[in-house]
């Protein structure tokens, strides 16, 4: 079953909480849920496409231009659980826009509100996957998503010790369609292993080069060779994820 349609996870007893979604994109805004392996209410990998108020988008884009070293997040202002977003019964919620400034590997973060409360509307859920018992993949695996001329990749999470990373690409790779970007399929990078990192947390970014050969994995058919040209990192974290 497709990852974005798996909602059979038992979420009874999950406490409503604050969930931050890191933003990527300029033309179309996508959000990526910051996960935590050790807390059931945060043990989900989620990618959304937002419909945010015009003034919020303008604030985000201006602040992003003014502070390229910081990232931005949509954060709910009323505690909630995630499964109703996954099954489509919740398509909007009250939120605020935050600037997130991080040091090192994410040990220290400063969250600064940039807006008052607004309604964050969800146009599409591209990926919604509760964590389960899985083996580490043999090769580095990401989800690729976006729209139009923009594409981003987010590391596919499995279990501790793993890392969160979102990277915006220079362009949509040849061979990747708009339908692919709208379904957040997996891509693998055969030249880089992701087999548990010998049980140690990653401490350095695993993609130091600017370009990598990769394979796009659709639900059917053979893997499609593509070339990833990396542009800017939108998020990196090994700390709270593995807590």
Residue 198 confidence (pLDDT): 83
Query: Each residue of 148-166: pLDDT tens digit?
Result: 999 999 999 999 999 999 9
Residue 106 confidence (pLDDT): 66
Going by pLDDT thresholds of 50, 70 and 90, the confidence category of residue 11 is low
Going by pLDDT thresholds of 50, 70 and 90, the confidence category of residue 201 is confident
Residue ranges per structural domain of the chain: 3-242
Tokens at 138, concatenated: 């043999």
| pLDDT average, residue stretch 219-237 | 96
How big is the CA angle at 182 (ends 70 and 135), to the nearest 5 degrees? 80
| Ramachandran quadrant class, 45 (left: phi over 0; alpha: psi -120 to 50; beta: rest) | beta
Length of the chain: 243
Tokens at 165, concatenated: 């990373």
Query: Each residue of 103-144: pLDDT tens digit?
Result: 776 678 899 999 999 999 999 999 999 999 899 999 999 999
Q: What SS3 class is residue 90?
A: coil
Higher pLDDT, 10 or 100: 100
């Amino acid at each position: 079953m497709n990852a974005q349609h798996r909602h059979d996870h038992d979420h009874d007893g999950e406490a409503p909480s604050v969930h931050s979604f890191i933003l990527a994109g300029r033309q179309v805004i996508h959000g990526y849920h910051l996960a935590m392996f050790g807390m059931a209410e945060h043990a989900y990998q989620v990618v959304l496409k937002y419909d945010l108020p015009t003034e919020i988008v303008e604030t985000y884009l201006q602040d992003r231009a003014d502070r390229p070293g910081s990232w931005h997040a949509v954060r709910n202002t009323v505690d909630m659980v995630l499964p109703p977003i996954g099954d489509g019964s919740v398509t909007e919620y009250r939120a605020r826009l935050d600037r997130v400034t991080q040091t090192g590997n994410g040990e220290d973060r400063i969250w600064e509100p940039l807006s008052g409360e607004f309604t964050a509307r969800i146009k599409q859920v591209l990926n919604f996957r509760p964590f389960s018992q899985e083996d580490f993949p043999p090769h580095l695996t990401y989800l690729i998503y976006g729209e139009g001329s923009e594409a981003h990749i987010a590391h596919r999470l499995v279990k501790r010790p793993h890392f969160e990373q979102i990277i915006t690409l220079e362009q949509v790779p040849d061979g990747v369609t708009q339908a692919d970007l709208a379904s957040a399929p997996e891509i693998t990078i055969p030249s880089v292993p992701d087999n548990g990192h010998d049980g140690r947390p990653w401490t350095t970014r695993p993609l130091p080069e600017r370009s990598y050969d990769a394979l796009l994995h659709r639900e059917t058919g053979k893997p499609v060779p593509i070339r990833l040209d990396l542009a800017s990192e939108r998020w990196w974290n090994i700390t709270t994820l593995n807590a």
